[in-house]
Amino acid sequence: MASFNKFDCFVADIANKVHNLGSDVLKIMLTNSAPSQSNTVKANLTEISAGNGYSAGGVTVTITSSAQSAGLYKLIGNDPSLTASGSVGPFQFAVLYNSTPAAGNLIGWWDRGSALTLANTDTFTVDLDQVSGILQLS
């Protein structure tokens, strides 16, 4: 997966106790519209249409570790995936957001570099870094 890009609001949201990254429900939604670092909530983005294996709101990330060591916090989660049962997309961006607050506060996104449309039985997996984590805070 491409480099992780954080939304500017994420820093303030951490300071203002919007996120509990270890226990809130984090999801990855797909979009074909480029996110802006100034976006703040899910409604600021245009999600691809639900159906054919893609659920509205995206796929849930199962957090496997939310811990700090020597002042470095790492958030580690599984590699969520979806399998198409028809055409899904196109999409270029995978957006991580917190679905626990009603607004769906944004955290960050990855850019695939080009649009992708899944055909029937194609699988798309968001390959999250199992060593360095989804994100780090220090």
Region of 51 please: left (phi>0), alpha (psi -120 to 50) or beta: left
Question: Alpha helix (H) ranges present in the chain?
Answer: 9-15
Give me the mean pLDDT over the 93-121 stretch.
Answer: 97
Q: In the chain, what are the domain boundaries?
A: 4-132
pTM equals 0.96
Neighbours of 130 (CB within 10 A): 13
CA atoms of 102 and 104, how far apart (whole Å): 6
Across the chain, mean pLDDT equals 96
- Going by pLDDT thresholds of 50, 70 and 90, the confidence category of residue 3 is confident
Is residue 127's pLDDT more than 60? yes
